Structures are given as C-alpha cells and as structure tokens.
Amino acid sequence: MRRALLTSAGCALLAGCGGAAHNSTTSTVPKSTVTTPNANAQLEAAVRKAIDEEHSLSVEVLSTNRLPANQAVIGGPALAVLHHSIVERQKEGVRVRVLSERFRIVGIHLDPSYTDATAVVLEDQSVQLTYLNGKPRGKPSTAHERVRLELHRVGEAERFLVWKVTLL
C-alpha cells in the first residue's frame, strides 16, 4: 500500500493539480498567425510557464490534499489522475511532505499546428508520508522519475494546459 501511495504521490507531484469544475477547450490556431521565430519562442516560454506553475501547484496539493478552485494549469486526464490520487491519500489519512526535490525540464517540442506541445521532465525527490496530524508514517522515500507531459494550447492565447502525464 505504501508503494502505491508513493507512486500516486509521485504522479500527483508531476501531474499537477486543478479545480474540480474546470472545463477547458482548445481550438486550432491558424499556422500563419504564429510562424515567426519570435512567436515560436513565446509559445515555448508559455509551455515552460505552464509546466512550472503546474509543478508548484502540485507540491502544494501534496501537502494539503486539496485542489484550488481557481487553477488554470491542468485539465483532461491529468486532472482525473490528480483527483484519484487525492482521494486515495484522503482514504489512507495521509499527506505527502516534500523534503527535497530537483525538478528540471529536459526538452520541449511544439507541434507544427502550435496547438499542442510535449515536454519531458526529470524529478529527483525525497518525500515523507505523514498522518493528517503531521506525524511521520514510516521512513522518507526517494524517487527519480522521468515523465512526458502533453500540453494543449488554450484558444489563441499564449497559454497551455498540462493535459496528460505519462511516467517513462
């Protein structure tokens, strides 16, 4: 059971978090509107921002087991996995305390349509399961995870949502 909780903690840490009532859609952006090198760099920066925001939010969710209602960085299957992880931790009466971490974006690929992106991230982390009263449950655990994130662009804005998380 502990391994399952740590795995769900790791997935949640990398999957991010979101609001339960968040409905988002993506639309196709005409390629001709974003073909300059500067636009490409701006979209890549938007992808990096979404990944960083999702990561920060996920660390918060691990320690609180709550989804902020007004988040705008995750949706789709990634949000469903996160919900499931939170429910499992609540059933077990535990939270996850991140003791240390090293989070790094290894690479980003923008789809030629400019509506989707994929990224690979690495995370070395040390976590401690704690009971809801704050007392440690077992010993700290460490993990080295490599994850592929799929992101969808929100409309024509320079904003992306983390949509799917796959452990590699």
**Is the CB of residue 15 less than 8 Å from the CB of residue 74?**
yes
Band of pLDDT at residue 35, cut at 50, 70 and 90: low
Region 163-167: what's the mean pLDDT? 96
In CATH, the architecture of 2-167 is Roll (3.10)
The model scores a pTM over 0.85: no
Q: In this predicted structure, what is the pLDDT of residue 90? A: 94
Q: In this predicted structure, what is the pLDDT of residue 152? A: 97
